[in-house]
């Protein structure tokens, strides 16, 4: 008979982009489960893990009450509500968004200082108020659950503070992005003793599996052909986890180098340097998982 006390429970958002990306992360981490539109809980078939699909606002309370061990929510939600007993276990690197102050293009609000004495419509009253108070700016907060963009047109507020991604919604409503006040991403949360819970349940490799996928997202596998006389120069350019793997080619005087490169702001600069130092036939591939 299965020992249920050994099963880990995690709650994720049942709908929306964050929920979709959370399911994708768990499946890429090797957890096998079935989810349908009517599913509120799924049992992992190859790991002692139960996944609950809940409204985002219910997840922190489920953690506080001990119904679930872990949850995935946005930093913006965690910071805004300031849930006691719930802490960040791991930043997950997806579900990124930005909270911004915006005002009608035709208004006299052109800088953050101009928000003094204004009414701001937002779902993020605490984050907005704290940010402006730290700048010594006093304003009135109008709390709304949604449709903030229309608040200035209806005379409900002078400006808004809302989540902005591409800025298309602001543009469509003739609003100007004035100030970025908070950046958010998905985070794995739990009680302060969440990691001890993992150890108690003898499934420490839950985080290891997640780490393997999250780390792989930042890396690319790179294979290239290099003349032997240029191997040292090319190796010096590479910033790999380990020394590059070198394999002789059938063509005399040439070798194939295999390495891993971090996909950061310098990625294409590194590729150009590799080419300038003799590398050619460069093959760039994604990596599914990376384990130390």
What does each of the 292 residues of the chain score in pLDDT, given as a tens digit? Answer: 344 457 889 999 998 889 999 999 999 999 999 887 778 899 999 899 999 999 988 999 999 888 998 999 999 999 998 887 888 988 999 989 899 999 999 999 999 999 999 999 999 999 999 999 999 999 999 998 878 889 999 999 999 999 887 778 888 889 999 999 999 999 999 987 666 666 665 556 888 899 999 999 989 999 999 999 999 999 988 865 568 899 999 999 999 999 999 888 889 999 999 999 999 999 999 999 988 7
Interstrand relation of 49-54 and 8-13 (parallel, antiparallel or unpaired): parallel
CA 79 to CA 86: how far, in whole Å?
Answer: 11
Pair 208, 130: CB distance under 8 Å: no
**Which SS3 state, helix, strand or coil, does residue 123 take?**
coil
pLDDT at 287: 93
CA 22 to CA 11: how far, in whole Å?
Answer: 10
pLDDT at 3: 44
Structural domains of the chain sorted by starting position, each given as residue range(s) with its CATH number in brackets: 4-95+186-216 (3.40.190.10), 97-184 (3.40.190.10), 218-286 (3.30.70.120)
pLDDT at 186: 95
Pair 203, 6: CB distance under 8 Å: yes
pLDDT at 4: 47
Closest CA to 234 of 190, 279, 290: 279
pLDDT at 130: 95
- Torsion over CA: 59, 42, 206, 201 (sign): positive
Residue 214 burial (CB < 10 Å; 0-12/13-18/19+)?
buried
Angle, alpha carbons 82-85-91 (nearest 5°):
70
Q: Which residues pair with 141 in a beta bridge?
A: 120
| pTM metric for this prediction | 0.82
Helix axes 16-28, 205-217, angle to 10 degrees: 110
CA 56 to CA 268: how far, in whole Å?
Answer: 38
pLDDT at 201: 58
pLDDT at 249: 94
């Amino acid at each position: 008979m299965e020992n249920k006390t050994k099963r880990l429970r995690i709650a994720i958002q049942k709908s929306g982009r964050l929920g979709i990306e959370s399911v994708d992360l768990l499946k890429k981490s090797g957890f096998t489960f079935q989810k349908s539109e009517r599913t509120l809980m799924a049992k992992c078939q190859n790991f002692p893990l139960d996944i609950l699909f809940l409204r985002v606002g219910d997840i922190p309370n489920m953690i506080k009450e001990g119904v679930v061990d872990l949850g995935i929510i946005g930093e913006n939600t965690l910071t805004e509500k300031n849930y006691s007993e719930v802490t960040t276990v791991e930043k997950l690197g997806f579900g990124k968004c930005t909270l911004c102050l915006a005002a009608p293009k035709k208004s006299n609000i052109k800088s953050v200082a101009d928000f003094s004495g204004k009414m701001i419509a937002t779902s993020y009253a605490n984050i907005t108020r704290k940010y402006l108070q730290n700048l010594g700016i006093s304003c009135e907060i109008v709390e709304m659950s949604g449709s903030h963009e229309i608040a200035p047109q209806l005379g409900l507020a002078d400006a808004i503070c809302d989540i902005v991604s591409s800025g298309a919604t602001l543009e469509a409503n003739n609003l100007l992005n004035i100030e970025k006040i908070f950046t958010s991403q998905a985070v794995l949360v739990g009680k302060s003793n969440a990691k001890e819970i993992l150890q108690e349940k003898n499934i420490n490799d839950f985080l290891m599996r997640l780490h393997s996928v999250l780390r792989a997202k930042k890396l690319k596998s790179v294979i290239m052909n290099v003349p032997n006389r240029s191997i040292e120069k090319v190796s010096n350019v590479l910033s790999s986890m380990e020394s590059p793997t070198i394999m002789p080619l059938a063509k005399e005087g040439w070798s194939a180098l295999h390495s891993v490169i971090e996909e950061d702001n310098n990625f294409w600069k590194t590729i150009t340097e590799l080419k300038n130092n003799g590398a050619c036939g460069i093959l760039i591939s994604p990596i599914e998982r990376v384990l130390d």
